[in-house]
Structure 1
């Protein structure tokens, strides 16, 4: 795992943070023993989602920042090194950002910081990161505008060989859950013009319009008609350059809803058996990391990219913490003993 900038082309970067999580099981879990010192955070799972669909050597085209305090476990460094991404560790005097994850019931996860968070901004990105073909952000609408504007401004100043010149990156925005409120709707709609994909989950979408109870019954059931209506109201405000972007609503066990001016469709979740879902932590972030690299490598096919995201999410939720990468099997990438490519092929056959 490199700790300096890279000369390789960059397919993906995230402005999400790395967090060391303590995860407390849902009330329905057989064991109530907490899982401590687990790699987490939106940035980690987004990078993981991109990595799942990027076997070496393409894994080196994924880059992300990790702020590591003096408490950062050596075992975590070693584990992340096996991913073979271009992770940039930044030493800090302050403790590594840590978080608590717990559940109010089987479907609602809550989160709180245990230490001050080290937020990443456009100014933190290295030149290689600035040239990324896709950028994942999880933030408020106000900050989204600031960060994207800053990134695009700094990109103009990059000096690069002609063959390395890239156009505008794919910008994937994950609105911050705590600001999914009617008071934020106007600012959210203003921010839509700065992104290519906006992706709230179904509950956040409902809360943004003040109709959360109409979208979900709180037990995981989703009202697809309401999701489609609200996604349409966002799209009407204009997503992306010249309104060519997409709304991708992550809807838990119902999969995702994809809407643009050219298409409207649902994709199912990869796992149809609820017993396969051990912990949904990070599933949405992983989905967006997979979607981001999918957009890059399919030349903007948002439905196929969402398939990539769905498969990435499926690996993220099969266990507490991150899936296990087998690097010694001699058969290429296998996560949790499964080939990601084979799972994607199977899911594609199921959903085409």
Structure 2
């Protein structure tokens, strides 16, 4: 891409959001407390897929859907029905052939939404070199990686943008769970200085500081607040103007910023019966959050977008379904899982205003 990129004149990007999370086909096994649920096989998933769909929920076609960009590595076993489903969303998905099996994963759930995961086939990790110049000009990025890779990828993104006189984007970093450890805390603190938002979940954040949440309590909000403040005190974001957004499952999320503002938002769904499968809820949250931040510039409003996106992701096994599309007035109205995203967002605004 390098030589061609140097020769190509930079143009304003029409992309609002890019995720560097992977596409995976999942097998999902429910927790022992859900004996009526059976294992689900060949489910479209992966952090990148849920993240892209979280952003897509707020981006109806034709123009806004194309502002959502992601990469799908289609292996030799890639199902035609999966390709059709992805294409029906009308995003700027790059579906590229791979001379190997599609990345597949095993997901097993325990109690309190605890999750075990392992790859069943060789994974295809995405890098900044996989992004076209238009993708690199995006208004926001969702990175899911180790601290060291986070720093290296941001340097590549910013180098490209400096060459083309593009302003710095919103970069949202989701640390990989396995490296949310005390040993990785120094690297995490270094990487944080380069991102606008870091977003671990509550268990990952506690693990960085060698602590856990009491099983009976679920989420210790005071512990979340203390740990978020410790991250901020270490220097968060360029010029120390970043934020910490902690995803806390059924307790919602905690937003803490460099300016001293801090706030809990509840989860959209307050009834446990509404939550069928938590897979992808956190990734969907960050897709909605990132595109919300790119379009509004407001952390709390972006978190509302994220919370609504997560609510759609956890209402069923697998991805939410586009159930209705029709022209209404001057634009297109969509329904996902039988409801309108904007109406759900407006209701959540009233509830959390």
- TM-score tier after normalising by the smaller chain length: over 0.9
Match for 2:323 among 311, 317, 326?
326
How do 1:1-352 and structure 2 match up within 5 A? Answer: 9-57=14-62, 58-158=64-164, 166-212=166-212, 216-218=213-215, 221-262=218-259, 263-298=261-296, 300-328=297-325, 332-352=333-353
Q: Write out per-residue CA displacement over residues 193-213 of structure 1, whole angstroms, 9 at most, x where no aligned residue.
A: 11000000000000010011x
Q: Write out per-residue CA displacement over residues 243-289 of structure 1, whole angstroms, 9 at most, x where no aligned residue.
A: 11100000111100000122111000000001100000000000000
Counterpart Cα distance in 1 of 2:203 and 2:315? 22
Counterpart Cα distance in 2 of 1:304 and 1:223? 24
- For the 8 Å contact 2:13–2:135, the answer to whether it is kept is no
How far 1:81 moved relative to its partner?
1.4
Moved more, 342-351 or 218-227: 218-227
Counterpart Cα distance in 1 of 2:183 and 2:198? 18
Q: 1:162 maps to which residue?
A: none
- For the 8 Å contact 2:236–2:258, the answer to whether it is kept is no
Q: 2:7 maps to which residue?
A: none
Counterpart Cα distance in 2 of 1:217 and 1:330? 50
Counterpart Cα distance in 2 of 1:290 and 1:219? 30
Give the match's secondary structure for 1:333: strand
- For the 8 Å contact 1:122–1:150, the answer to whether it is kept is yes
How far 1:33 moved relative to its partner?
2.2
- For the 8 Å contact 2:13–2:137, the answer to whether it is kept is no
- For the 8 Å contact 2:170–2:196, the answer to whether it is kept is yes
Moved more, 24-33 or 76-85: 24-33
- For the 8 Å contact 2:112–2:218, the answer to whether it is kept is no
Count of residue correspondences: 337
Q: Write out per-residue CA displacement over residues 154-205 of structure 1, whole angstroms, 9 at most, x where no aligned residue.
A: 22334xxxxxx64101000000001111001111000011100000000000
Give the match's secondary structure for 2:224: helix
Give the match's secondary structure for 2:100: coil
TM-score normalised by the chain length of structure 2: 0.92
How far 1:218 moved relative to its partner?
2.9
Structure 1, gaps ≥5 residues long: 1-5, 159-164
Counterpart Cα distance in 2 of 1:334 and 1:175? 32
Counterpart Cα distance in 2 of 1:207 and 1:8? 38
Q: Write out per-residue CA displacement over residues 87-130 of structure 1, whole angstroms, 9 at most, x where no aligned residue.
A: 00111101110000012335211110001110000111111110
Counterpart Cα distance in 2 of 1:7 and 1:339? 31
Give the match's secondary structure for 2:111: coil
Give the match's secondary structure for 1:56: coil
Q: 1:161 maps to which residue?
A: none
- For the 8 Å contact 2:142–2:172, the answer to whether it is kept is yes
